[in-house]
Amino acid sequence: MNRTNILIQETEKLLSAGLLLIEYGRKNSGEILDDKIKEFTIWTTRTGEFISKLYPKTSQYQNQYNQFRANVPMNKLHSNNYKAILEIIGILEAIKYELENGLLDNLKKLLQADIFADFIEMCEHLLKEGYKDAAAVIIGSVLEDTLRKLAIEKGIALVNDKGKSLTMEPLNVELARSEVYNQLFKKQITSWVDLRHNAAHGHYDQYDTKQVEQMLSFVQSFVTEMMK
């Protein structure tokens, strides 16, 4: 079972539990039973954790949940306030729809693109101000993160036979061997891995600003091509 199906199943469980709480609240005109307080609290906590793992803190879903959490006491669930849960049910239904139609993956790609753009802008600023070494380290980190994401996407192990995490060049070798990209990309990445290594270890005389600019240009094109 893939990750999306697991998430859909969890959404369905939260929906079912939420609907049972609504049914209880609709019929309850007095004090909430202790076991229902526990059930309501667990459901609310699970739902909040679920939303926070899928969406950024600034998302509409997260804001709606936060308002629900701030306004609805966990020790009261009766015919006058059960309808607040309907708003969270609506969020869960929307999440299920996005999961079933691949919309959440598209959202994450957009967010990743925004983060990538921020890093690139930062590196361009550093180069403009003459900080080639800091720019080289950051660009190298972006490249490494991209290689790791590609490996995960293609089912390539991130560790060797001894359980040690693969560094950039071994990842590069494995990705090329699996034909994720061609040998030309592999050779170019090897050269940028060397430059990143020199920058990270203080060998600043082993490369110049022009090379860092070329590295930035390559990484921009590479990420755009590979992470479509």
Query: Do 80 and 113 belong to one domain?
Result: no
What range does the domain containing 9 cover? Answer: 3-100
User: What pTM was computed for the model?
Assistant: 0.52
Place of tokens 């709480």: 21
pLDDT at 228: 61
Distance CA 59, CA 50 (A): 13
CATH code at position 23: 1.20.58
> How does DSSP classify residue 159?
B
Query: Do 70 and 123 belong to one domain?
Result: no
Query: Do 96 and 129 belong to one domain?
Result: no
CB 193 within 8 A of CB 181: no
Query: Do 64 and 122 belong to one domain?
Result: no
Give residue-wise pLDDT tens across range 30-88: 777 788 889 999 999 999 999 988 877 777 888 889 999 998 888 888 877 788 899 89
Query: Do 52 and 131 belong to one domain?
Result: no
CB 15 within 8 A of CB 96: yes
CATH code at position 114: 1.20.120
Distance CA 140, CA 196 (A): 5
Give the domain-ending residue among 76, 100, 124: 100
Query: Do 72 and 130 belong to one domain?
Result: no
Tokens at 179, concatenated: 């034909």
- For residue 159, list its beta bridge partners: 165
Query: Do 40 and 113 belong to one domain?
Result: no
Comparing C-alpha atoms, which of 142, 149, 137, 65 is closest to residue 105? 149
Query: Do 81 and 121 belong to one domain?
Result: no
